[in-house]
Amino acid sequence: MKFYEMKKLLLMSALLLSAVSLNAQTSPAYEEAPNPVATNPALWSKVKNAQVSWGSTDIRYKKEEPAPIQGIQKSISLTAWKGEKVSAQLVVWTPEVLEDLTVIVSDLTSGNSQISKDRIRTGFVRYVMTDELNKDGQGACGYRNSADFDSTLVADPIDHLTPAITLPAQTSQGSWLSIRIPQEASAGRYTGTITVKANGQVLSELKLNVQVKNRTLPAPTEWAFHLDLWQNPYAVARYHQVEPFSQAHFDLMRPLMKLYADAGGKVITTSIMHKPWNGQTYDPFESMVTWLKKADGSWYFDYTVFDKWVEFMMSVGVKKEIACYSMVPWRLSFQYLDQASNSFKFLEAKPGEAAYEEFWMTMLKSFAAHLKEKGWFDITHIAMDERPMKDMLETLKVIRKADKDFKVSLAGTYHEELVGELDDYCITIAEKFPAETIRARREAGKVTTYYTCCTEPRPNTFTFSEPAEAEWLGWHSAKENLDGYLRWALNSWVKNPLQDSRFTAWAAGDTYLIYPDARTSIRMERLTEGAQAFEKVRILRQEFEQKGNRSALKSIDKVLQLFDEMKLGEIPAAEAVNKAKKVINQF
C-alpha cells in the first residue's frame, strides 16, 4: 500500500535526486556544506597545537580562521537568576586534525548546593551557508539570486545531537553551553568543570562559574513578554517526509516547538485558508480548515487539523493566543473543494464584495461556534497582515457581523483609527505607538508589540546578523514599554536548512530561527535571552515601583536608552546588551 501525491512523478524524481542528501538531513549527524572560503595557511602558521578557550556568545567564530583570542581564557563567570537560562561559548581551534572532539560538563556546586549537569546542554556551533544584506546595505528585502551575493559559511546552528565531532586541520569550532538554573536552586556562586577531549585524551579543562542571584524568573509560560514567532508545521512534514499531522509529525515537532515555548512563545500560528501568504515560503501554509462547498450550495467545514495543531501547541506550552491567517491573504484568492466537480476551485473576491462577505460569513459563523465549543473563542484572533485600509475596514465589518466578539490582530502599520479595533497590534520597529496608547491598550487587556523583518539591516536575525542583535530585540521592547515582539518566521525552512540558510528572497536566515531535529541556534538562544531580559526588567521595575526605589528605576531606564535602533551604528548590540546586563544583574 502506497500513498501518492498528485504530482507523484515529479515528487518521485525529486526524491530520487535528493535521496542522498535526505539521508544526511534526517540523520542526527550531518555534513555541512563545503566552505567556499579557502583557508589561509599564513593565519595558522603561529598556531602550534590545538587551542581551547572560553570565547564569547557575541561572536560567530570563523571556521577557516584561528579564533581571534589573544590570551587563552580558562575560566568564565556568568550571572543568573533562578529559573534563568544563561549561555557561554567555548572555542577550539586546531592546526591538525582533531578526532572525536567532545565537551563534557560536570555538575555545578556551591558549598552543599548543586546544579546537576543535566541542566547544562552543550552543542557544537555548526556552520551554515549565509549571504549578506542587499548591496545598498539598507535592508534585505526582495527576491534574490544567491550567486549575486557573497556567500560564506557562518556559525549558527547549535547541534546538541552530535556528541563528537572530528575537526579537519586548520579549523575552528565553537561549543555552546546552555545552563538552565532550576527555579528551586539556592542562590550562591556555583562552580563546575568543562572537559574538552579529542584524540582520546583531555585537551583542556575549563572552569565555569555561575553566580545565582536570589531572584527568580518565572517559567516561560508565565512570562508577560508577548513573543509571536510564526510556526510552519508544513516545513517539518516536508523536510522529514512524514504525513502532516500524523503522530510521526507531532513527535518531530514536539522538541522543535518546545524551543519556541521555552523562549516564551505565546501565539499559535494557524492557517484557516490555503496559502495565506500566497506560498512565499519554501513550504506554503495549507488550510488547517477543510472548506467543502457541497453541490447543493451549502458548506461543510471541518476543523480536525486546526484542532489537532492547536491542541498540540497548547500541550507544548503555547496557549495564550491563536492567530488565524488570513481573511486578507496576499492574493485575494480563496481555495475550496468544489464537490460537484470534485476539484479545488478558487473564489476570487475582495473585502467589500458581496461574494467575499457571503464566503467568509458562512465560515466565520461556523468557526465561532466551533471555537466556543472548544472553549477557545476568547483567545482566538482573526489575524491580518498590513493591507490597504479600505480592505482592512471591510474585513473588520464582516468579522464583526459574523460575531461582534471576535478578537482581531494586525501586524502592519500604525493607524490611529484601528487602535480601538485590534486586540493584538504589532507595528514595525521604525514606527512608534504614542506612549499613552500603549498604556491604555494594556489596561484594556490588549497587546501591543513591534516587529522586524527583511526591512531592517539591524537589528536583525539573519544568519549573518550579530548574535547580540537577537537579544537586543527583547531589551528594545522593554525600552519602548511594549508587550513583546513578533517575527514572521520561526521555522519556514528552506530546502536544506542545516546546510544552506539562503533563500530565493530576503537575506539568509530570514525564514527560520531554529533547525531540524530541534537544533537551536545562536540567534534563537540570544533571542530567548532577550525575552528573559524583558522579564527581568519588568519584574525589577514592578518591585522598584512598589518600593519607590527611584534611583534603581532611573538606572534601569537609563541603560534601556541604549536600545535605540537609531543608535545601533554608535552602540553595537553587543555593547548595549553587555552594559545593560551588568546593570540589571547588579540588583
**Amino acid found at 396:** L
Residue entry with cell 501554509: 285
Query: How many other CB atoms are there within 10 angstroms of residue 191's CB atom?
Result: 16
When the beta carbons of 348 and 378 are compared against its own copies, the nearer one is 348
When the beta carbons of 340 and 435 are compared against its own copies, the nearer one is 340
- Contact segment (CB under 8 A) with its own copies among 2-10, 488-496, 519-527, 541-549 equals 2-10
Q: Nearest approach, Cβ of 311 to its own copies (angstroms)?
A: 11
What single-letter DSSP state applies at residue 163?
A: S
User: Would you count residue 245 as binding its own copies (CB under 8 A)?
Assistant: yes
Q: Give the integer Cα–Cα distance in Å for 507 and 483.
A: 27
3 state SS of 112: coil
Q: Nearest approach, Cβ of 301 to its own copies (angstroms)?
A: 11
Q: Give the integer Cα–Cα distance in Å for 363 and 301.
A: 7
The answer to whether residues 269 and 325 touch, using CB atoms and an 8 Å cutoff, is yes
Q: Nearest approach, Cβ of 190 to its own copies (angstroms)?
A: 47
Closest CA to 70 of 57, 56, 60, 87: 56
Site string for its own copies, 258-277 (x = CB under 8 A): ----------------x---
> What is the H or E stretch that residue 407 is in?
strand 407-412
User: Would you count residue 8 as binding its own copies (CB under 8 A)?
Assistant: yes
**Amino acid found at 400:** R
3 state SS of 182: coil
Binding its own copies (rule: CB under 8 A), the pick from 1, 9, 20, 147 is 1
Question: Among positive and negative, which fits the CA dihedral 394, 399, 404, 409?
Answer: negative
Q: Nearest approach, Cβ of 314 to its own copies (angstroms)?
A: 17
Binding its own copies (rule: CB under 8 A), the pick from 244, 255, 317, 572 is 244
Distances (CA, A) of 103 to 130, 166, 417, 476: 27, 12, 56, 34
User: Would you count residue 9 as binding its own copies (CB under 8 A)?
Assistant: no
Binding to its own copies in span 460-499, by CB under 8 A: none
User: Would you count residue 302 as binding its own copies (CB under 8 A)?
Assistant: yes
The x, y and z cell numbers of residue 274, run together, are 490555503
The answer to whether residues 162 and 124 touch, using CB atoms and an 8 Å cutoff, is yes
User: Would you count residue 308 as binding its own copies (CB under 8 A)?
Assistant: yes
Binding its own copies (rule: CB under 8 A), the pick from 100, 150, 222, 243 is 243
When the beta carbons of 234 and 433 are compared against its own copies, the nearer one is 234
When the beta carbons of 337 and 583 are compared against its own copies, the nearer one is 337
Binding to its own copies in span 318-357, by CB under 8 A: 333, 337-349, 353-355
Closest CA to 293 of 367, 350, 359: 359
Distances (CA, A) of 478 to 438, 470, 532: 12, 14, 11
Binding its own copies (rule: CB under 8 A), the pick from 19, 164, 292, 430 is 292
Binding to its own copies in span 183-242, by CB under 8 A: 237
Q: Nearest approach, Cβ of 335 to its own copies (angstroms)?
A: 8
- Contact segment (CB under 8 A) with its own copies among 154-162, 244-252, 370-378, 412-420 equals 244-252
Do strands 75-82 and 201-216 pair parallel, antiparallel, or not at all (unpaired)?
Answer: parallel
The x, y and z cell numbers of residue 16, run together, are 530520487
Closest CA to 532 of 134, 197, 213: 213
Q: Nearest approach, Cβ of 6 to its own copies (angstroms)?
A: 5
Number of residues that bind its own copies (CB under 8 A): 42
Which residue ranges make up the site for its own copies (CB under 8 A)?
A: 1-6, 8, 237, 243-246, 274, 286-287, 290, 292, 294-296, 300, 302, 304-305, 308, 333, 337-349, 353-355
